[in-house]
Structure 1
Amino acid sequence: MMEAEEQQSWKTTFYSKLPKVELHAHLNGSISSNTIKKLITKKPGLKIHDQMTMIDKGKKRTLEECFQMFPIIHQLTTSPEDILMVTKDVIKEFADDGVKYLELRSTPRGENATGMTKKTYVESVLEGIKQSKQENVDIDVRYLISIDRRGGPSAAKENVKLAEEFFLSTEGIVLGLDLSGDPTAGQAKDFLEPLLEAKKSGLKLALHLSEVSQDFPFLHPSETSVLNRLCRLGTDYIRFTEFIEQYTGHVQQQDHHPSQQGQGGLHGIYLRAFCTGLDSVLQPYRQALLDLEQEFLADPHLSISHINYSLDQFQLLFPSVMVVVEQIKSQKVRTFHFSFACISTNGILYLIFLYILFFFFCFFRAASAAYRSSQSRGLIGAAAVGFPHQGEI
């Protein structure tokens, strides 16, 4: 037990000392229980002590309890002094955890009772960053001014003006804007005008989008269908890579424990070969994504149909490969081992089996090429008669 505890302690120390970058830190979501308790002592009249159980839960809070924390934090941070203290504490704790570059984001708000305005809120955050630097805290901190979707476009425009003002006066500390808040509030397109204005001013944008499962009223149903198919490619890719990691790890473990192999040696060879082949099949998909990224950097207005056309061969391939992967997993590779063992005992059968695999591969390549060619002719024909491409925005 002591050895396990010492090992865990060593890991914690090692990981905390690793230099890190944190690009997504909401100020109110990063406040520790210790800082909350300090704020409570400053405001004993709020009677928050009955909620200490939830506060002390820390990382063990449920998602619902996490959202219940924000009203408590808003009650406790009502003055510029509160915001200053919270900012410094959060920065110090990130630095203690080995973070070397931190982007904080927070929505400015006013409090009539204390006289705090949106502007003094931002100034307090910036003062916390400045004082942390003066105190030689080893971390580089920047600030994104957040837009809360619940405030609507008018409040968003106010925050854009604030961001533009501080962007020019803080020498790069205020980097840009963050669109966040309740993802079910309003439509993202409602904020397009102020966000485009911010972009023209040189501000960087960080947007929380597509965080809830709902219809997209601004998309045609065919476009939504294409997006769903593209998302499934990503899901399948993750499952393939998890399979490769799981079973190559299993094979390596057998290699290190020969006594556990028995008949498993042959099984391990073929399973490793299958995983190697699967990884090779995934490589063109990885390259296709990198190529698309370069195309988007050159032309950000590429259509959904272009993405779909670029990845259509994988929409044919991945479901077929997934059937094989799921069969291996469901049978816990025992049948897989047995089948290969039977084949390998007969050299002629083994050669025939390899030939069938090769034939299948060539057939698939030819079928994919033919499909892409027909799709290309279809797209050209649609463009010639003036019809929009399926799935094009």
Structure 2
Amino acid sequence: MASAPTQELPAHVPADKAVWLDFFSRSNVDVCPQETMIPEIHRTLGPITWCSNIFPGDHGGWLLTKVDDMHAVLRDPDNYTKNGMGKFAQSIGEDWLVIPTETDPPIHGEYRKALNPFFAPQKIAKMRDELHDRAIRQIEEFKDRGHCEFVEDFSSKFPIYIVLDLLGLPQERMGEFLQWEKDIFHTNDFELRTSSIRKVVDYLKEMIADRRANPGDDYVSGIFDYEVEGRKWNDKEVFGHCFNLFIGGLDTVTSMLGNIFTYLAKNPDKQQELRDDPKKIVLAVEEFLRAFAPVSVFRIAAKEIEIHGQKIMPGDYVGISTAIAGYDPDYYDNPEEIRFDRKAPHISLGFGIHKCLGMHLARMEMHTALEQWLKLVPPFRVADGFQIQYHAGNILHVPRLELQWDV
């Protein structure tokens, strides 16, 4: 699961603190990362390790394994910047930022002041009926068949319908958008990643120009009136926010749902627990967020720092895997056990000033998917003969999930 890195290490990185991890291989594997790779990481690695393949394209950086250290980094924007951390603009020779994700204080707070009202709980609550209707319509397309491919038939579409509607993007191009997303986040081919970023950028810039010329009542047209530092957002800022919604909305909830339903298909007793008492779904979503968080995020050291005696140099990437955080045995009691009464805090939707902008929508999507699925679909299981594969990388997910049930 861990091996020695093949490339030359930076001068300040001790050889005994450097590894190449299968966990960041950005490839399909036959073992469940939450059951195998993550527990091994906690057993064998210290609190900070140089991982030579932590970023796409096998770029190296520091991996933290302890929640307390992650908290310290995430609440310290003076020493750890997010400016350009995703290398999206840089990879195509441009200089915009993903907004608000790649911005630091004080301007980050200005952006959030403009954005938070739209994504506030009371605003998102108004979408509840639409979410329920979407989920029901999708499930009714296959529930009487007795089987489905969960990712294709449900989880890749349900949350994405909502984002495309929000941005006013054509639903009929969903397949193309999903392929771009896959080639950005689920590959180790940096050239393919860069090519797909360019496709997204070109499409969104054309869309934004059209909305400026022909504004409507959609969310994107409303961004033109947002203000920061006493002025309207400029073109780069409008684009940077649209890029954030596009890449953030087309992947993470889909990945979470795949991880959750894989677990429920393999554990009929836990599935039945939620069927017997649907009120448990609210806390179950929080436990699933802890146990099946899919995303690794990054900060960039802004100055020379030390963590547990290890020197971190300016420009070093510091990786924080929400998946690894959820299994820290020093922070969670028996983390490998899934308990719907745990009520434990987690960083799966961010921490500190960079809490996920869409966290209330993400929670509602997961709650709605579980609630409607368990109402409409009989007890389900992994389809006979189907071998689950898992994707290990910066976003953990199941590429395919064949389910079946008795009708």
What's the TM-score once normalised by structure 1's chain length?
A: 0.23
In the superposition, the TM-score normalised over structure 2's length comes to 0.22
Task: Please say which structure displays the higher CA radius of gyration.
Answer: 1
Q: Which has the higher contact order (CA 8 A, sep 6+)?
A: 2
Whose strand fraction is larger, Structure 1's or Structure 2's?
2
* Structure (1/2) with the larger helix percentage: 1
